[in-house]
């Protein structure tokens, strides 16, 4: 048989997909499964956004799109960056991508050579590690434990940087913990980065609008303008506007990365769906009240889930500042046996048993480089979350 490339051999599919597939299989067998494994809003795409896409198709906007994005959408993204992140980014430095994931891929492929190190604060979305490994880089996880609010500490960052470090990936609000970092925390990180001018930074702000309790949102390039020449600020419409399937992300690029990232995108996918870009334009330029309404709904769900989980013996759960996840520590449940006779030695054992025996889908913390935790998505109704928490409580109470 012909050989395969080394890059596909060193990259695995995310555990979230495996958990979702197992949940679907159990449902097909007739079980009442509550799947809380995927990070996808349960709200619909706004009606005016769908109508804008329909209108664009009827106007004939169905041809090959410009490689870097339509001029109309890039102009709207520029206004969005200025309005919401206090970044004045010329349209020539804005790249529209096939979801936020391609923006990350473009950057990693542009700056990482084989053996280069990429610092990833943990817990972290699994896609970062996969992309770095695909490019031949070395993921370097810096633990950010629950007792530190899952926030990257400047001294830990400084200790992790070596002569091989080429990139720092920041993601706040964070997937999977929901932790957010304010201006003071970002300034402390910036102080470390100023001592290491060889390190690029990618700030993944995809959950920027999903913040709670009037949290003071900021992004690194605005807090530290002197680092803007080596900082990529990436976001998109997937999470905030419930548009995951439209696959529209965008990146504000430093001048030196505009051409490299454009080359990567041209090689991999070329331009982004013209219909999707019309939809994203409508999302950015249309009514914005829904952002506050949906953030309030997610906050209520967070309050419900954290309150119930923290009442369960063996579980402790940080109250996240944003996103739509909780990331409880389940260490107090390990070393015990389920009613079906399964010994729980890890968070992977816990989530497997929770799905098979209680029919609740969650993702093991090991998939996010931090154990023993589990990630629970709160992107579903309060009634469903209450049912799920009751099942988790019953499952834990039955452990012996």
Task: Please name which of 211, 210, 230 lies closest in space to residue 220, comparing C-alpha atoms.
Answer: 230
State the Cα–Cα distance between residues 323 and 181, nearest whole angstrom. Answer: 12
Confidence of residue 38 (pLDDT cuts 50, 70, 90): confident
Confidence of residue 23 (pLDDT cuts 50, 70, 90): confident
Task: Say which CATH topology domain 6-44+290-397 has.
Answer: 3.90.1150
pLDDT at 237: 98
Per-residue model confidence as pLDDT tens digits over 95-148 = 999 999 999 999 999 999 999 999 999 999 999 999 999 999 999 999 999 999
Q: Where are the domains positioned within the chain?
A: 6-44+290-397, 63-285
pLDDT surpasses 90 at 320: yes
Query: Are 6-44+290-397 and 63-285 in the same CATH fold?
Result: no
Lowest mean pLDDT among 9-13, 284-288, 348-352, 382-386: 9-13
Per-residue model confidence as pLDDT tens digits over 223-266 = 999 999 999 999 999 999 999 999 999 999 999 999 999 999 99
pLDDT surpasses 80 at 39: yes
Query: What is the overall mean pLDDT for the chain?
Result: 96
State the Cα–Cα distance between residues 78 and 73, nearest whole angstrom. Answer: 9
Which tokens sit at 141?
């996880």
Tell me which CATH code domain 63-285 carries: 3.40.640.10
Crossing angle of helices 71-85 and 274-285, rounded to 10°: 30
**Neighbour-count burial of 136, counting CB atoms closer than 10 A to its CB (0-12 exposed, 13-18 middle, 19+ buried):** middle
Let me know: does 88 contact 79? Beta carbons within 8 Å. no
Per-residue model confidence as pLDDT tens digits over 350-397 = 999 999 999 999 999 999 999 999 999 999 999 999 999 999 999 999
Which tokens sit at 277?
């870009």
Q: Which residue has the higher pLDDT, 109 or 14?
A: 109
pLDDT at 63: 96
Residue 356 dihedral angles phi and psi, to the nearest 5°? -70, -35
Q: What angle do CA 360, 319, 339 make, to 5 degrees?
A: 30
Max CA distance (Å), the chain: 64
Distance of CA 212 to the CA centre of its chain: 17
């Amino acid at each position: 048989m012909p050989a395969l490339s080394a890059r596909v051999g060193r990259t695995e599919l995310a555990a979230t997909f495996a958990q979702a597939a197992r949940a679907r299989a159990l449902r097909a067998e007739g079980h009442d499964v509550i799947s809380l494994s995927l990070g996808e809003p349960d709200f619909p795409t706004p009606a005016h956004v769908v109508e804008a896409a329909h209108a664009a198709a009827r106007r004939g906007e169905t041809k090959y799109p410009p490689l870097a994005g339509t001029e109309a959408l890039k102009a709207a993204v520029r206004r969005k960056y200025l309005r919401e992140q206090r970044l004045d980014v010329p349209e020539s430095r804005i790249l529209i991508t096939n979801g936020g994931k391609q923006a990350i891929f473009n950057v990693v492929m542009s700056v990482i050579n084989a053996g280069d190190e990429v610092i990833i604060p943990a817990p972290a979305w699994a896609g970062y590690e996969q992309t770095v490994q695909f490019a031949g880089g070395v993921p370097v996880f810096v633990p950010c434990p629950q007792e530190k609010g899952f926030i990257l500490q400047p001294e830990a960052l400084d200790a992790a940087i070596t002569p091989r470090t080429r990139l720092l990936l920041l993601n706040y609000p964070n997937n999977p913990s929901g932790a957010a970092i304010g201006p003071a925390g970002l300034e402390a990180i910036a102080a470390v980065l100023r001592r290491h001018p060889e390190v690029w930074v990618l700030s993944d702000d995809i959950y920027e609008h999903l913040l709670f309790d009037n949290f003071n949102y900021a992004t690194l390039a605005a807090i530290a303008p002197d680092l803007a020449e080596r900082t990529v600020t990436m976001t998109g419409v997937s999470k905030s506007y419930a548009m995951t399937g439209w696959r529209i992300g965008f990146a504000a690029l430093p001048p030196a990365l505009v051409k490299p990232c454009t080359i990567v995108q041209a090689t991999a996918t070329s331009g982004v769906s013209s219909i999707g870009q019309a939809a994203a334009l409508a999302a950015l330029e249309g009514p914005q009240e829904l952002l506050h309404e949906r953030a309030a709904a997610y906050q209520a769900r967070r309050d419900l889930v954290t309150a119930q989980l923290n009442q369960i013996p063996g579980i402790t759960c940080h109250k996240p500042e944003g996103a739509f996840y909780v990331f409880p520590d389940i260490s107090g449940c390990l070393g015990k046996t389920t009613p079906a006779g399964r010994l729980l030695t890890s968070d992977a054992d816990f989530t497997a048993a929770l799905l098979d025996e209680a029919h609740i889908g969650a993702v093991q913390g090991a998939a996010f480089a931090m154990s023993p935790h589990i990630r629970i998505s709160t992107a579903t109704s309060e009634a469903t979350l209450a049912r799920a928490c009751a099942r988790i409580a019953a499952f834990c109470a039955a452990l012996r």
